[in-house]
Structure formats: structure tokens, C-alpha cells
């Protein structure tokens, strides 16, 4: 059960998970030790699933971000699972969503350039199980994050 202290703690950690116990205590209204114990419990319960750094793709040579809608030829369980596994293992894929609607999957991926993207499509989309795909090239990253509203 998430109470109001957990909700404030999660909001603070999602904004900056590098904060000290004292900084968290100021925001949450509990002692430093209580905040750190709660954070550990939330990790153990699987509420907090990862502590990660967000990297600016363009700063590491990944200048293009693509959103790709993928439609499978036949939505059979083994083919869906095979595609999920392939996307989970592809380093270019930042996010992969199995969705309802016209497309079966929505991918967010980052590549160095169009040649890199063409190589990606040749590796994964030249497959009889892929009916088609539509590529949207991101022009600007307006908002990016993983913060979940809590409370």
C-alpha cells in the first residue's frame, strides 16, 4: 500500500534519485533514515524497478530518434514472442510496446544516421512475418522521462 509519504518519496526520487537522505527528508517530511528505509522497501516490493541515468542520445553519437509502428503479418503467439525477444535484445531499441490498434508494436529507437536505420530495418523488418512498418522521425524531444504520477 502506497501512503502519502511513499507518494512524496516516489515523486522526489523520480525527479532526482541521487538525492541524499537529508534532502529527501526535507521533501517528504520524515527522517532521513525513514526515507531510506521506505525507498529500500519500495525497491524490494518492485514499485521502484530501476535506478538509471538518462543519457542525451545526441551526446553519444545517436543523432536520430525514430518512432516505428510495426504490423505483423499474422499475430500468432510464437511470432509475437519472437519479435518481442528480438526487440528486447536490439541495442537501438529504447522502448518497445505491444499495442492494440492498426499497429502491433510501437518502437522508439535511436540511431547514428539513416544508414544505421536502414541496417536496422534490413536486420529486423526483412521478414515474412512483418506486414509493414511506418517510420516517424522525431524532430524535437519536447518531453522525455519515465516519471509516473503518484498519489
pLDDT by residue (tens digit) across 105-118? Answer: 999 999 999 999 99
- The confidence score (pLDDT) of residue 1 equals 84
Q: Domain coordinates of the chain in residue numbers?
A: 4-44, 57-137
What is 4-44's CATH topology? Arc Repressor Mutant, subunit A (1.10.10)
- The confidence score (pLDDT) of residue 145 equals 86
- The confidence score (pLDDT) of residue 18 equals 94
**pLDDT beneath 70: ranges in the chain:** none
- Reported as a single tens digit per residue, the pLDDT across 34-46 is 999 999 999 999 9
Which set of grid coordinates corresponds to residue 151?
Answer: 498519489
What's the rounded Cα separation, in Å, for the pair 13 and 83? 33
What's the rounded Cα separation, in Å, for the pair 73 and 59? 37
- The confidence score (pLDDT) of residue 74 equals 81
- The confidence score (pLDDT) of residue 118 equals 97
- The confidence score (pLDDT) of residue 75 equals 75
What's the rounded Cα separation, in Å, for the pair 40 and 34? 10
- The confidence score (pLDDT) of residue 96 equals 98
- Name the class of domain 57-137: alpha beta
What's the rounded Cα separation, in Å, for the pair 19 and 128? 49
Residue of 62, 53, 57, 68 whose CA lies nearest to 130: 68
Lookup result for grid cell 522521425: 137
Amino acid at each position: 500500500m502506497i501512503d502519502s509519504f511513499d507518494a512524496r518519496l516516489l515523486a522526489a526520487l523520480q525527479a532526482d534519485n541521487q538525492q541524499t537522505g537529508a534532502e529527501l527528508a526535507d521533501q517528504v517530511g520524515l527522517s532521513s533514515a525513514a526515507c531510506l528505509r521506505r525507498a529500500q522497501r519500495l525497491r524490494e516490493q518492485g514499485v521502484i524497478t530501476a535506478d538509471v541515468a538518462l543519457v542525451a542520445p545526441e551526446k553519444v553519437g545517436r543523432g536520430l530518434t525514430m518512432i516505428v509502428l510495426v504490423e505483423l503479418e499474422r499475430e500468432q503467439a510464437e511470432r509475437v514472442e519472437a519479435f518481442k525477444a528480438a526487440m528486447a535484445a536490439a541495442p537501438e531499441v529504447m522502448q518497445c510496446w505491444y499495442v492494440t490498434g492498426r499497429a502491433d508494436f510501437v518502437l522508439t529507437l535511436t540511431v547514428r544516421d539513416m544508414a544505421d536505420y536502414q541496417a536496422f530495418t534490413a536486420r529486423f523488418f526483412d521478414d515474412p512475418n512483418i506486414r509493414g512498418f511506418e517510420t516517424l522521425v522525431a524532430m524535437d524531444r519536447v518531453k522525455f522521462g519515465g516519471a509516473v504520477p503518484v498519489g
